[in-house]
Structure 1
Amino acid sequence: MPGTTRFRQSIAFIEEHLHEEIPLEQAAQAGFTSLMQLYRDFYTYTGHSVKEYIRKRRLSVALGMIRSSQRPLAEIAYACGYSSQQALCKYVKSATSLTPLAYQKSTACYFFPRFDSEAVRQVTVSTEILPATLHMKFYSTKHSGIEQQALESLYALLPAYQGRLFGRDGQPQGGLFCYELAVEYDSALLYSLTGSIFRELAVVPARSLTCAKLAVRSDEAEIGLAWDYLYLKWLRTSMFEQDEERYGEEYIRKGGEVKKLILYVPVRKRTDYDKISVSFSEGLEFLAASREGEQAEEEAAAAVMNYCSRHHPEVLRTSSMFCVIQRGGRYTCGVQLERGQAIALAGDSGLQILQAPAGRYAVLESSSYGDRGMFIALLESWIEECGWSREEALAFTTYETVAQGRPDAITMSVWMKLKDVKK
């Protein structure tokens, strides 16, 4: 049985027994592994010790119940595996700097999600000792194929090189695209590369980095999908955030050809999580269009923007919120209307007035622009843990400009309407 499958079975056992004392030997047995291997796997896959993971997950569940139920604290404590109400209060205070009652009344949210990573793209986290390297830059007038050009140029100069090799995109300069390569440092290599097609040679000392790693075969399309998964899915819902150090790729060669790459993203443990709250909305209205097909989202957004530009430019001047709803391959995109703003639509406009009714909503806010599906799944799991029930209405995502003149200052929010009665 693959190691990743074993680990997921141990995770499932722990999740099923969060409310009670968890014998770690049994958690290991659930994954058909040893206790020592379970310890190693937890750090490798999550960056947390098994006891730290259990403590944070148990607290996350308890805080969800504190926020959304009327159960006594003592009952919540015992239901979540705490020895007493006092023990629960101690952990809540330590994690949030608030008492349970203050947390219940605050807008703060502590949510530590269950760990889950796609088995087909298994990401591992470990400390990497990178050797001293010689960095160099390759410039070209074309971006397409620049990576392969850089590799071919390097091996034309160093045909016998057998050491480790790293690469990453560089910053364009003077109208030229850039690709950076790094080889293990050797004074003879520095001599051979000085004055060559490679520029800006620099020696970087050996260093230790904590990295999220993902191995992928040497195929341009597959590499792109793997990077998308790392950044847009795994990183946004994992227990880590990107460190200041830049990403990189390591080339694994066999028989003179690159057979696979290992993608590296330097990471550190997250100290905060995306904000989740429950609030009452008086209702939202959007001028919207729907499309289907490969470019459905882009076409729906363009239809709304073009219509507003021609017929209602005041909407674009006053609105700072845009929404997206997806159902399979059908996308509905809209721009928010101010309350009471009357819009008369021509019969052949193909647009509609979309209404998000008044009511209580669970809202996840993030400054990220990652895969909406991952954020929707995260919010659904939070709703489940907190004891709420969702309305049947589809979740929708909004993008709101929070500062004029800053295109990067955008907040993404996922909205789910809640039923008034908790479970």
Structure 2
Amino acid sequence: MDKSTRFKQSIAFIEERLYEDINLGQAAQAGYTSLMQLYRDFYTYTGHSVKEYIRKRRLAAALGLIRASQRPLAEIAYSCGYSSQQALCKYVKSATHMTPLEYQKSEACYFFPRFDSETIRQVTVTAETIPKTLRAKFYHPKQYGIEQQALEALHFLIPEYPGRIFGRNGQQRDGLFCYELAVEYDADLLDRLADSTFQEIKLAQKFSSTFAKTTVRNDEAEIGLAWDYLYLKWLRTSMFVQDDGRYFEEYICKSRKVRKLILYLPVKRRTDYDKISVNFCAGLEFLVSSREGDQAEEEASAAVMNYISRHTPEAISAVREFYVAQKGLSYTCGVRLEQAIELPINSGLEVMRVAAGRYAMLECSSCSDRGVFIALLDTWIQEHGWSKDELPAFTTYETGGQGDPDAITMRVWIKLKDVKNG
């Protein structure tokens, strides 16, 4: 039995007793592990502490009852594992900034799903102190392999260097790609770096922060997949958001060869939650194109934008909302129409009207993996007694929200059947 299977057995033990006084020692035993290992595994697999996971799962269930049932608050509190109605009210206020009554009347929905996915790689969250370093920029005409070029330049310059090495992508300059290396501070190193291929040498003071970390072998494709997992999968379902600091990598070398890398993503505990609501949509019209294949999304989007730029270039600046729907390798992409248009024959585009009706909608201010949000919204629908319509989920991206021209709001939409609980 592998580690992830054992962990899911501990999760099943907790879920079966979610509203009881859970013995975490027994939960660990259910997964054939120790209590300390269970604590570590919760961070690794879910991005939550075990107690935080239990609190959020209980609260999600309680809020579902507050929204959908007429049961008294005290009864909901006791049935969901709270010691009193006051305790439930406290947690509701802390998570949603609303009283239970305000939450019942609002459109916003708090939801935290049961963990039920396979981990792709191990992620740990720890407080780390990064030593005082010298940061140096390395420029090269090619982006691919620039990290290795920078490391080779460092080892050629300082073959006996014994300290830690950090790196991250920098900004292009004069048509050249940039990679920034950081080495532990030493006064002698400053002189040796000054007259070399490295440029813009700067001193960075020691600092401490909280990081989500994962280790990956030294392979370009593997490193890219690991970063994608951290940003698009793990971060979206964890109790953390990205902090203000920049990501970076640490090189683990042996005999001047990079054996593996540790990826560092600065994080902080999240204070808000993705917004889920049920809304009536009167119907929206989009100018769309459909394509199929590996580059289908890019090709469909380009077809729409190229058509607009050729036929109604003045409308480009007014485009604020974009549409994306996927089915396998087939993508339909487009832009929101503010007024009806007539398309010429053989344009390769169509005017598509989204069916009017009631939709479950999840909104967030990031552009992460749509699949993660569609799965989350799908689970919310199931756990709250709604039934889905047969229409596929779709995603819209709106730019320029809240007076910020660079702001992007992503919304995932799933059409609901007309009758709840039926």
Structures share a fold, TM > 0.5? Answer: yes
Cα distance between partner residues in 2 of 1:296 and 1:203? 46
User: 1:402 matched to which residue of 2?
Assistant: 400
Change (3 A) 1:403 1:182: same
Cα distance between partner residues in 1 of 2:279 and 2:330? 28
Change (3 A) 1:405 1:62: closer
Q: How many pairs are equivalent? A: 421
SS at match of 1:121: coil
Cα distance between partner residues in 2 of 1:117 and 1:251? 30
Cα distance between partner residues in 2 of 1:231 and 1:264? 11
Cα distance between partner residues in 1 of 2:50 and 2:402? 45
Change (3 A) 1:8 1:128: farther
**Which ranges in structure 2 are unaligned for 5 or more consecutive residues?**
none
User: 2:260 matched to which residue of 1?
Assistant: 260
**Which ranges in structure 1 are unaligned for 5 or more consecutive residues?**
none
Cα distance between partner residues in 2 of 1:321 and 1:195? 51
SS at match of 1:11: helix
User: 1:122 matched to which residue of 2?
Assistant: 122
Matched, 1:29 2:29: yes
Change (3 A) 1:69 1:304: farther
SS at match of 2:120: helix
C-alpha contact 2:172 2:178 (8 A) present in aligned 1: yes
Pairwise CA distance, 1:413: 0.7
Pairwise CA distance, 1:403: 4.8
Cα distance between partner residues in 1 of 2:88 and 2:218? 50
Show CA shifts across 1:234-264 (max 9, x none). Answer: 2223211111221111111234321211111
C-alpha contact 2:10 2:30 (8 A) present in aligned 1: yes
Change (3 A) 1:265 1:307: same
Cα distance between partner residues in 1 of 2:401 and 2:84? 46
User: 1:320 matched to which residue of 2?
Assistant: 320
Alignment of 1:14-413 (within 5 A): 14-43=14-43, 45-46=45-46, 48-115=48-115, 118-311=118-311, 316=316, 318-338=318-338, 341-403=339-401, 408-413=406-411
Q: Which shifted more, 209-218 or 341-350?
A: 341-350
TM-score (norm 2): 0.90
Pairwise CA distance, 1:222: 1.7
What letter matches 1:88 in structure 2?
L
Cα distance between partner residues in 2 of 1:365 and 1:404? 14
Change (3 A) 1:157 1:107: same
Change (3 A) 1:140 1:359: same
Cα distance between partner residues in 1 of 2:131 and 2:364? 36
C-alpha contact 1:67 1:386 (8 A) present in aligned 2: no
Cα distance between partner residues in 2 of 1:384 and 1:78? 23
C-alpha contact 1:361 1:415 (8 A) present in aligned 2: yes
Pairwise CA distance, 1:146: 2.2
Pairwise CA distance, 1:68: 3.5
Cα distance between partner residues in 2 of 1:273 and 1:283? 27
User: 2:418 matched to which residue of 1?
Assistant: 420
C-alpha contact 2:321 2:396 (8 A) present in aligned 1: yes
RMSD, aligned CA: 2.6
Change (3 A) 1:2 1:112: same
Pairwise CA distance, 1:185: 2.3
Q: Which shifted more, 149-158 or 64-73?
A: 64-73
Among all aligned residue pairs of Structure 1 and Structure 2, give the percentage whose two residues are the same amino acid. Answer: 70
Pairwise CA distance, 1:392: 1.7
Show CA shifts across 1:132-169 (max 9, x none). Answer: 32222212344333222211110001112232211111
C-alpha contact 2:248 2:263 (8 A) present in aligned 1: yes
Change (3 A) 1:8 1:135: farther
